A and B are shown apart, each in its own frame.
Chain A
């Protein structure tokens, strides 16, 4: 016996040791439950991180766009008269954000904002020989914009270089136009301005539609093609805390009087999916936790019945009800703790194994491996607490045993 180990711990440990098979079985059951929780939680975190990474490396956290144009009736009705009017919504032409340079410098000083990139977006037609495709032409300042949308990461051929006559196109567009790196294509904007540009890079955004339509040119090129020299149609922003994007967007909107859309707003469906996943994961955790708790409780109830004579003797020797209670609470806690240690290790190993063997078609990882220490600490603590809570009923039953009845058996 250890010099410092109290009676309750010594007795609990000995009881668990003596009921070896029961202990092994319930520890295994707890371990399986915790392993499932750890595996699922780690997988979910990794997949979510992967989704978020994919979403947020291909779009800004917040995008500022000019407010919609609306029609204002020029003749308000005279006092005392009612005028019936049909107000038609005007067509939204491409136009620049008013005083965008001032807004840009204002946003650059905002503490929550990391990057501010003015862009010029418009539609155009890409023509090469007999082939033509409609495209979205995005004019960017590559040094800033590529910090927001990591185009260099998606380049499969060439370089992410954007000089005045350069263009980056997607793999699908290159295929449709029969163009390859270094080829020239003619880009005609809706304003009937056109320019011949050289393909300096071909990218793959992982989405067929995006690879067909999206193209990047230098900001000045896009401004010239759109006939909006010196103007920008959007300002793209990244922020420190991606989950605060919507709040920041609202603040920006209030401060600048331009429309600000956060990635949270524009990816509402994604968030619905994440919430659904989290809900199902929580439900699974609750049910696994309940089954673990009932498992521990049932084993300890059997133990109380088996050990009623021992409990009676201990009571006769002067053991208090509180001490008996603690003996069984400690057993519950230890079962939960030991099982969760093994389960956390098993769950973590399973995630590592899964990550190592599950690959995408191109051999890259299916999801980033994210094993937060807090997941393991929380799982172990939660299981230990569950064990103690589950042991409460058998422990109370043990503590309330009448020693006379217990000894008589």
Chain B
């Protein structure tokens, strides 16, 4: 990928759902958005404005009804499920509000999971990489604990480590601090900032917390399925 190719580009993306058999409701209207490498962008908006739908489309979990979506310069509308899955695995990391670690696995194994799914490295290298990532989020001592035995903040840090395991270009964080106390929320946010600065990973952070949003490079606001504050791309360096 060329250095100046945006990590994410949306051209006129629309999404509509059929309600019943004939009524079609459009929830996203002509979304244009560009995220450059190394950006840390907050996505804000009231509940029901279409943030999560937009995030699902960007995360290749859902497909737009119209418009085009580019991930690292690759147009995604014509990709089949296998190619979409591969692109998602390599280019996009997810951090969800409810961290969603797999309870059957330890913290280390949860972080290893994307590598294992992708057969990315030999197992010992995967283990080493997962251990390094857990060290990066300050959870070395917890690596053999099952997810259920950890606090919400710790689980979210594991989720961040898991999201960056494949070294993706883009991390989508859907209210990752929404379920945490202020101190833990701050720790998690700083951790994401650290990853952003260290690895140059682009972050798109959905949040209702304006204090955190203001600490991002820029804010994109969605209201009624439209971007209402398209701020210019800030120099992330």
Contact = CB atoms under 8 A, between A and B. Distances in A.
A320 interface: yes
B89 A14 contact: no
Contact of B124 (A3, A310, A316): A3
Contacts of A407: 61, 96, 100
B81 to A, nearest CB: 7
B61 A316 contact: yes
Nearest to B90: A318
Contact of B100 (A7, A313, A404): A313
Interface stretch (B32-40, B109-117, B197-205): B109-117
B179 interface: no
Contacts of A317: 89, 94, 113-114, 117, 162
**By CB atoms of chain B within 10 A, which of A4, A316, A321, A404 has the most?**
A316
Interface in A1-26: 1-4, 7, 10-11, 14-15, 17-18
Most chain A CB neighbours (cut-off 10 Å) among B59, B90, B101, B117: B117
Given A3-B122, A14-B104, A14-B105, A319 B94 contact: no
Contact of B102 (A4, A314, A315, A404): A314
B62 A318 contact: no
B56 A321 contact: no
A122 to B, nearest CB: 81
Contacts of A58: none
A28 to B, nearest CB: 21
Contact of A321 (B81, B86, B122): B81
A10 B116 contact: yes
Interface in B103-136: 103-105, 109, 112-114, 116-119, 122-124, 127
A49 B86 CA distance: 59
Interface string A124-160: 0000000000000000000000000000000000000
B82 interface: yes
B88 interface: yes
A348 interface: no
Contacts of A312: 100
Given A3-B123, A403-B61, A318 B118 contact: yes
A7 B117 contact: yes
A323 interface: yes
A161 interface: no
A314 B112 contact: no
B62 A404 contact: yes
A2 to B, nearest CB: 8
A314 B117 contact: yes
Contacts of A18: 103-104
B231 interface: no
Nearest to B85: A320
A17 B102 CA distance: 13
A59 B46 CA distance: 94
Interface in A306-362: 309-310, 312-321, 323
A320 B88 CA distance: 10
Contacts of B117: 7, 314, 317-319, 323
B112 A404 contact: no
Contacts of B59: 316
B156 to A, nearest CB: 14
18 contacts: A1-B123, A3-B123, A3-B124, A309-B100, A310-B102, A310-B103, A312-B100, A313-B96, A315-B61, A315-B85, A316-B61, A317-B162, A318-B89, A318-B166, A320-B85, A404-B62, A407-B96, A407-B100
Interface of B: 56, 59, 61-62, 81-82, 85-86, 88-90, 94, 96, 100-105, 109, 112-114, 116-119, 122-124, 127, 162, 166
Given A15-B104, A318-B118, 19 more contacts: A1-B112, A2-B123, A4-B123, A14-B102, A17-B104, A18-B104, A309-B100, A313-B101, A316-B94, A317-B113, A317-B162, A318-B90, A318-B117, A318-B166, A320-B81, A320-B82, A321-B85, A323-B117, A404-B56
